[in-house]
């Protein structure tokens, strides 16, 4: 068992280092999983970065939906990068330690990107509602200025809530134990390690999560209620199917994200992370950032056509040169 690293001052000590137990206990399995998660991380970077570049390069994708999608890909890159590199390095280590500051920083980035994703999914749901409910006024309502303000609000809200979460958690007094039963710095696993009364911090965290998490989910839910009403007003069955297809990818992404996040954080009744929690955490921190570009691209003819146009232009460049 790794020794506890502390900073001393008379009779008072404070934790300077946390120990992460990691995803698995068996060293042999960790070595097997290393190339799997390395491949997953590289695919996440390539697919999301490729989607951002494609949206920026093709004029046909200069619409609010793809504008928001490019920022979702950016969030997924940052989200995955805040966990995967350290997780990969820990697979090769016997002692998985992380400094107090590094743990707080990782938690801050994770919270910022996670909260921003909640808000961005809500903004994308509103965009789909306007597109289906008011198609003739869509361009006027979802003007570029509004889209930029919505994105600024998304990142600003994420930053503020993440700052509140991080201060509430890491401003507590930690004197030991310092073992986090997870593969990343997760707040529900850190606060129980505190030597001070965590009630105020837990209350702040709960209110912030309630305001952003459930607030965003409520916006998404209401948007889809109005979307369903608008779709039912469409006369032809073919028209209804076409309208539903425009929000099918977003609905799949929302279900996957909120389904796993709620499964992890709605039933933390003990201080110990179960294997199920770790598996679900892998889904929303590692796998979802990888599959989001696929969800939006595989059955999307506009993205496929845009990719063909970009590849065609790239193929003609050497000939012109």
Identify each DSSP E strand in the chain by its residue range. 6-9, 12-15, 17-20, 97-99, 179-180
* Residue 317: predicted pLDDT: 64
Quick one: which of 146, 145, 142, 78 has its CA closest to 116?
A: 78
In whole angstroms, give the CA distance from residue 294 to residue 51. Answer: 10
Confidence of residue 41 (pLDDT cuts 50, 70, 90): very high
Instruction: Evaluate whether 178 touches 19 at the Cβ level (below 8 Å).
Output: yes
Residue 13 has pLDDT above 60, yes or no: no
* Residue 47: predicted pLDDT: 94
* Residue 110: predicted pLDDT: 94
Q: How many residues does the chain have?
A: 321
* Residue 319: predicted pLDDT: 54
Q: Which of 135-144, 240-249, 301-310 has the highest mean pLDDT?
A: 135-144
Residue 112 has pLDDT above 60, yes or no: yes
Instruction: Evaluate whether 172 touches 191 at the Cβ level (below 8 Å).
Output: yes
Note the pLDDT tens digit of each residue in 245-267: 888 889 999 999 988 888 877 76
β-bridge partners, 12: 9
In whole angstroms, give the CA distance from residue 185 to residue 99. Answer: 11
Report the half-sphere exposure of 86 (CA within 13 A, side-chain side): 24
Residues 6+ apart with CB under 8 A from 109: 78, 82, 162
Q: Give the angle 81-279-219 at the CA atoms, nearest 5°.
A: 70
**Annotated domain spans of the chain:** 17-304
Pairing of strands 6-9, 12-15: antiparallel
Q: How crowded is residue 299: how many other Cβ atoms within 10 Å of its Cβ?
A: 12
When the candidates are 3.30.70.100, 3.40.220.10, 1.10.287.130, 1.20.1070.10, the CATH number that belongs to 17-304 is 1.20.1070.10
Structure tokens given for 167: 């201060």
β-bridge partners, 15: 6
- For residue 199, with 0-12 CB atoms within 10 Å meaning exposed, 13-18 middle and 19 or more buried, which class applies? exposed
């Amino acid at each position: 068992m790794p020794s506890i690293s502390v900073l001393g001052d008379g009779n008072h000590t404070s934790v300077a280092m946390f120990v992460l137990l990691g995803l698995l206990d068996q060293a042999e399995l960790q070595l097997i999983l290393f190339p799997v998660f390395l491949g997953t991380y590289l695919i996440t970077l390539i697919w999301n970065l490729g989607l951002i570049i494609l949206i920026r390069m093709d004029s046909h994708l200069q619409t609010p939906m793809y504008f928001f999608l490019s920022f979702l890909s950016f969030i997924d890159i940052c989200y995955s990068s805040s966990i995967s590199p350290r997780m990969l390095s820990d697979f090769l280590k016997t002692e998985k330690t992380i400094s107090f500051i590094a743990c707080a920083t990782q938690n801050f980035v994770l919270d910022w990107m996670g909260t921003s994703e909640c808000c961005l999914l809500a903004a994308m749901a509103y965009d789909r509602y306007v597109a289906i409910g008011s198609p003739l006024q869509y361009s006027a309502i979802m003007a570029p200025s509004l889209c930029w303000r919505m994105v600024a609000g998304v990142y600003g809200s994420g930053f503020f809530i993440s700052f509140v979460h991080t201060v509430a958690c890491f401003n507590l007094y930690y004197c030991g134990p310092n073992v986090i039963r997870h593969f990343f710095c997760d707040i529900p696993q850190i606060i129980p390690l505190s030597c001070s009364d965590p009630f105020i911090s837990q209350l702040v965290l709960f209110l912030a999560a309630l305001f952003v998490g459930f607030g965003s989910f409520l916006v998404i839910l209401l948007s889809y209620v109005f979307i369903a009403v608008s779709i039912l007003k469409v006369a032809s069955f073919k028209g209804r199917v076409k309208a539903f297809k425009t929000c099918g990818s977003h609905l799949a992404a929302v279900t996957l994200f909120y389904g796993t996040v709620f499964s992890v954080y709605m039933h933390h009744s003990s201080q110990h992370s179960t294997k199920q929690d770790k598996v679900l955490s892998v889904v929303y921190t590692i796998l979802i950032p990888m599959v989001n570009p696929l969800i939006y691209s595989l059955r999307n003819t506009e993205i496929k056509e845009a990719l063909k146009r970009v590849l065609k232009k790239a193929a003609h460049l050497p000939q012109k040169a």
